[in-house]
Amino acid sequence: MSGAMELLRAAQEGDRDACEQAVIENNGLIWSVVRRYCGRGVDPEDLYQLGCLGFLKAIQGFDFSYGTCFSTYAVPKIAGEIRRFLRDDGAVKVGRSIREQAQTLYTVRERLRHQLGREPVLSELAEATGMTAEDIAQVELATDAPESLQRETADGLTLEGMLGTEAPEEGLVERIALREAIDQLPEKERMTILLRYFRGMTQEQTARVLGVSQVQISRLEHRGLKRLRESFEI
């Protein structure tokens, strides 16, 4: 038996060190599956953790007597664990139609980004997908991960810091409330906040996507943050 198979067998028998080593040695395999599901509203590191869980489940279920390549057995297990989470266990539930729209939007954005050599503007996304700007905003808000509250923009800013929330990680209620508050913003302010704090773009990048000037983005961002502060009575 090869060293790799011996390691997997030891892991299957409950050797914790062997489990950790198996994950390390198969890190590339796990990430190769994880990358297929990036861009669907869940942080890649969270997807990786799910992939590791699926990988460990694959170890436990693998039958060495079949002579099947372990990676052939492991890949669908890893993918299945991630798909199950995306389908059932997201922190904020979204409907099937929203998930389908999100996938369409992601695919179209990547295609346009490749064709144009830049980030597509909102009007280009709307034309290519048949969605309205409002539809795109709703889909983006519904599928972004809650952890993005602490995500930094290219300027090093976070929505947590701008709103003055001391501990937004304490409970899902605050995150949902913020989502609802953002959803109530006027369209351009909502898209500006979304791109700046959920997509981590600079004001210049955001201006290019929305097809307006950087000065306008600065004003939209200021007004949007002011409305959010008022909604939280800060």
| Residue 54: domain span | 3-89
110 lies in some domain: no
95 pLDDT tier (thresholds 50, 70, 90)? low
pLDDT tens-digit readout, 112-124 = 888 888 878 777 8
Q: Which residue has the higher pLDDT, 163 or 32?
A: 32
In the structure, what pLDDT confidence band is assigned to residue 80 with cuts at 50, 70 and 90?
confident
Q: How far apart are CA 3 and CA 49, in angstroms?
A: 25
Domain count of the fold of the chain: 2
**CATH number of the domain within which 189 lies:** 1.10.10.10
pTM of this prediction exceeds 0.75 = no
What are 170's two structure tokens?
């304490």
Give the chain's radius of gyration (CA, Å): 21
Same-domain status, 225 and 172: yes
Q: Is residue 31 in a domain?
A: yes
Q: Indicate if 79 and 138 belong to the same structural domain.
A: no
* Residue 220: pLDDT band with limits 50, 70, 90: very high
Q: What is the mean pLDDT of the chain?
A: 76
Tell me the pLDDT tens digit for each residue of 120-167. Answer: 877 788 888 888 776 776 676 565 554 444 454 555 555 555 555 444
pLDDT at 100 over 70: yes
- In the block, residue with structure tokens 């969605």: 131
CB 56 within 8 A of CB 16: no
